[in-house]
Structure 1
Amino acid sequence: MKWLTNLFKKEAQEETDPMKKYLIAGLGNPGAEYVNTRHNIGFKVLDRLAQQEGSDFNTAKLGAMAEVKLKGRTVYLLKPNTYMNLSGKAVKYWLDQEKIPLENLLVVTDDLNIPFGTIRIKAKGSDGGHNGLKSIQQVLTTTEYARFRFGISDAFKKGQQVNYVLGEWDEEEKAKLSERLDISSEAIKSFVLSGLPNTMSSFNGK
């Protein structure tokens, strides 16, 4: 029976091993009026992943949370309810609460400088003028965390950036969005299971 005791010990260690825990933070704004806006693509990507894995979001402190299991790894999906410019508060709380190492954090956000639907995953970087990333950088006091940028393009007229970002997808974008969400979901699974370098190699530019 010693082998059985050792097995239980091993399983208990794996369950509490911080390296097997991941936080995927999808950025967006809470509220029905923002659901289908370009700025909320972080929420949309997490919704698709949760749906694929049969998980549901529940109200939690500073946001909505879903939990997904991927080959022995626990993945927490976080949609902050703090509004975009206070996203860092929710991200830090859940990193601390679940004792998740910074290298196991991935932040999903929209990016105006990338063509629609294109994925760009990086190990670190500036906030690029994005209020959500700016908040996370300020609260975590570092830019050394992985980010997943989903291109929303910059097809807006001068002075219309805010309206564009907070506007809804056009018909052509809607037709392509589901496929892009599926690919985004696969990229997140790859981050968890295969690591950041492999994921960057496989998905960047797709």
Structure 2
Amino acid sequence: MILIAGLGNPGQKYVDTRHNVGFMLIDEILKTGGFSELGSSKFQGELFKKGSLLLLKPQTFMNLSGNSVKAVNDFYKPERIIVVHDDIDLDLGAVKFKKGGSSGGHNGIKSIDALIGADYERVRIGVGKKQQGQDAANFVLGNFNDSERKRLGEILPYVARAVEALLSGDIEDIAQKFTIKRGCSWSFT
């Protein structure tokens, strides 16, 4: 079994925020169909299943994402965990893959690391870099503007294809093939 956890914050207030790009990717994958919803209270998140694939959108708010990931991990004991999250150190549209490592200051990742360790795969989606002196919390909780949303509409299907390839591949190979170091304005289709 493989668990893909897309990080974000629950509630209408946060739907279009930079911090919710992990939720957005889970929604993109759900468009492929065939998933059944497994409920939310036991796992502190929205959990979906198709075959041996689990998709999770923690409903604990970002800083407590580890609670939801741990609940699913303890119950299903997946062989692999892939966490998709926003990264403010990457240009909008940049995508990077790695296994393990530090949280990079991301509170959702810190929460997961504290409860299950850091030995899981990560898909980092660049949401743009904050301006000098800008508060990081306000930046990640800010909404994407219209042009950023358009670019996000291009990158999310690309990342969904990369994650699909990751399910049956090695993260090093996927990183070689799908990493985008700088955001770009060309179409990913």
Selected match of 2:88 from 106, 112, 124: 112
1:163 aligns with 2:163: no
On the 8 A contact 2:130/2:136 being kept in 1, the answer is no
Give the match's secondary structure for 2:2. Answer: strand
Alpha-carbon distance in structure 2 between the residues aligned to 1:33 and 1:80: 16
What one-letter code is carried by the residue in structure 2 that aligns with 1:198?
D
List, as ranges, runs of 4+ consecutive aligned residues in structure 1 with deviation greater than 6 Å. Answer: none
Cα deviations across residues 140-197 of structure 1 (Å, max 9, x unaligned)? 1x22211110001214351332222101101111111111110110111111122322
What one-letter code is carried by the residue in structure 1 that aligns with 2:173?
N
Alpha-carbon distance in structure 2 between the residues aligned to 1:37 and 1:56: 26
Aligned to 2:28: 48
1:79 aligns with 2:57: yes
Alpha-carbon distance in structure 2 between the residues aligned to 1:57 and 1:191: 23
Alpha-carbon distance in structure 2 between the residues aligned to 1:56 and 1:176: 29
Aligned to 1:22: 2
Where does 1:60-79 land on structure 2 (aligned, <5 Å)? 60=40, 61=42, 62-69=44-51, 74-79=52-57
Aligned to 1:201: 176
Q: Give the percent of matched residue pairs that are identical in Structure 1 and Structure 2.
A: 37
Cα deviations across residues 70-96 of structure 1 (Å, max 9, x unaligned)? xxxx11000001111111111111112
Cα deviations across residues 110-129 of structure 1 (Å, max 9, x unaligned)? 00001101110101110000
RMSD (Å) for aligned C-alpha atoms: 1.5
On the 8 A contact 1:65/1:77 being kept in 2, the answer is yes
TM-score normalised to structure 1 length: 0.82
Selected match of 1:98 from 63, 76, 84: 76
Mind listing any 5+ residue stretches in structure 2 that lack a counterpart?
182-189
TM-score normalised to structure 2 length: 0.89
Identify, as 1 or 2, the structure richer in helix: 1
Give the match's secondary structure for 1:59. Answer: coil
Aligned residues: 179
Alpha-carbon distance in structure 2 between the residues aligned to 1:191 and 1:95: 19
Give the match's secondary structure for 1:114. Answer: coil
On the 8 A contact 2:58/2:68 being kept in 1, the answer is yes
